[in-house]
Amino acid sequence: MSKRLVVDPITRIEGHLRIEVVLDENNRVVDAYSSSTMWRGIETILKGRDARDCGLIAMRICGVCTGAHYWTSIKAVEHALGITPPTNARLVRNLIAGSLYLHDHVVHFYHLHALDWVDIVSALKADPYKAAKEAENYSENPWYNSPTQYKAIQERLKKFVESGRLGPFANAYWGNKSYKFTPEQNLIATAHYLEALEAQRWMAQMMAIYGGKNPHPQSIVVGGVTCVQDIKNPARASLFKELLLKSRDFVLRAYIPDIIMAGQVYKDEALNGVGAGLGNYLVYGDFPLDDNPHYKAKLLFSPGVVVNKDLTKVIPFDQSKITEDVTHSWYKYENTDKPLHPFDGQTNPNYTGFDENGLLKVNEKYSWIKSPIYDDIRVEVGPLARMIVGYASGNERIKNYVDKALKAAGLPLQALFSTVGRTAARAIETWMISDVMIEWIDQLASNSAKGNLDTWTKFDYDKLTKGKELKGYGLSEAPRGALGHWVRIVDGKVANYQAVVPSTWNAGPRDYKGRMGAYESSLVSNITLSNPDQPLEILRTVHSFDPCIACAVHVIDTKGREIAQYKIDPVSGGMCYV
């Protein structure tokens, strides 16, 4: 007899993601539904604004990858105006974005996802001497590897456990049969979890050097960047490179070895395709490597679409084939029930609630996230998509890093199509980004030393926009996946704005044909719970996407009441009426 299981909230970060699954009599997941329970309205706020201000407002979509929305929005306006930023601005933007990748991926693996694989309490049983020896199986020079170090970590953990307050390690399913690391392996990963707290600080500092602050960088403007003094100062470049090399060291000596260890221990899950999902992958492409105009430059991440895991064919990407459907979303479209391209997108809330048992009305509307569709195909976006599309495209840099990681773990390419593979792909691209950033910071420092301080492309906004209707799109690869902002500008003001974010692509509900989104599909991909009261396997697979629902939704009162009104006085400042 089947039964419904609810996991809510499932995220360890911003936003409220609710997962409902149907289990059969063997506790195998046979159906799944993904729902976001809050609404996003930033598109409505942007209407009527000066388009040059979009970036600063749009970055408030999220509190984590703020920068990704910032530069994607700026890019959309630049595309509408026909502006290409100069070399130094391209390099600075790549360095800021690269810093976000390092920070975001390290935080994701250790602080948002590792506890799905690592049994913290088991680490107390480990032999510190054996742990130090075990670490040498995955790295020639493991990060801070000594019995003394591991023993000190154990003492810290022991105090947590004896006090009955596990702090960040509370509310987990310690002892679950799906945990497979030995006590020594758990101790190694736990040590790196704690040391990653320091490492991620270096990466945040890197973003602040050229971005001005973290989160919410401030130095990117339509046409270029404003951090001229930082580019001129060689000490800033030296500090950036010092932090980058320290970060890269952590990635190579802790993160990558831990992923190789996980790949070997959880090998069966990878080979059996546990959590594989749709098998269709979409990449917009990003990190321009030359100064050609937007979408004409050579890119670090190859754009394209791979369907049905077929690595022999990459379909060219075309943004005009993107639509959003609201059949099962708490929205309504005026004058049509067909999916809409973002340039024509609408944001009209239509909340119809839960059923009488407090469950999702899965045959009706059940999420605040729309259902993005590419050329009438449901797709997955994110690091795994970037590695799959890059590999299939013959991107030599990506192929090299993927092959090295798989060889080290002793796994075939097919293993990538799994929850394990999705987690590994994020680490592989962190490794690659940390290497290529060295090239970018050296090039920026060289330009400055030669007196090239050009950081902005001059333009006349009024002349470009007065009496005209312009359209532009910003396409980026945020750490979580393909991120797109579409803007229509009339006489210099925003007439319509739509953002299709990574978590929308992956967390979207069923579409008008009843087809699943990426989260839903991954959960019906060979997942069986060892204990239905401890849905660890569900957490593991959904967390492998790095869900961050803040991008997809914003605040709403559950009873539909108005929360506040804001009136802005242009003379004396803002007033808030709550």
Residue 503 annotated in active site: yes
Q: Which of 480, 485, 488, 540 is catalytic?
A: 480
Tell me the two tokens of residue 232: 């001129």
Residue 4 annotated in active site: no
Residue 65 annotated in active site: yes
User: pLDDT tens across 197-216, in order?
Assistant: 999 999 999 999 999 999 89
Tell me the two tokens of residue 279: 């098998």
Residue 485 annotated in active site: no
Pick from 174, 360, 277: which is nearest to 527 by CA? 277
Residue 227 annotated in active site: no
pLDDT value at 564 more than 80: no
Query: What is the DSSP-derived secondary structure letter of residue 23?
Result: E
| CA distance linking residue 526 with residue 506, whole number of Å | 18
Q: What is the DSSP string of 259-300?
A: HHHHHHHTHHHHHTTTT-----EEE--EEE-S-SPTTTS-EE
Residue 378 annotated in active site: no
Binding site for Fe cation: residue ranges?
65, 551
* Residues contacting 194, CB < 8 A, separation 6+: 153, 156
Classify 85 as helix, strand or coil.
Answer: coil
Q: Which of 103, 302, 418, 551 is catalytic?
A: 551
User: pLDDT tens across 420-449, in order?
Assistant: 999 999 999 999 999 999 999 999 999 999
In total, the chain counts a number of residues equal to 578
Alpha-helical (H) ranges within 410-450 are 419-449
Residue 62 annotated in active site: yes
| CA distance linking residue 348 with residue 328, whole number of Å | 14
Q: Which of 4, 14, 201, 216 is catalytic?
A: 14
User: pLDDT tens across 374-421, in order?
Assistant: 999 999 999 999 999 999 999 999 999 999 999 999 999 999 999 999
User: pLDDT tens across 340-354, in order?
Assistant: 999 999 989 999 999
- Domains, the chain, ordered by start: 3-565 (1.10.645.10)
pLDDT interval class at 555 (50, 70, 90): very low
| CA distance linking residue 166 with residue 119, whole number of Å | 13
| CA distance linking residue 332 with residue 88, whole number of Å | 44
Q: What is the pLDDT of residue 162?
A: 80
Please report, as a single letter, which amino acid is at residue 185: Q
Please report, as a single letter, which amino acid is at residue 358: G
**pTM of the shown model:** 0.93
**Which stretches of 370-436 are assigned E, i.e. beta strand?**
371-374
To the nearest 5 percent, what fractions of the chain are helix, strand and coil?
45, 15, 40
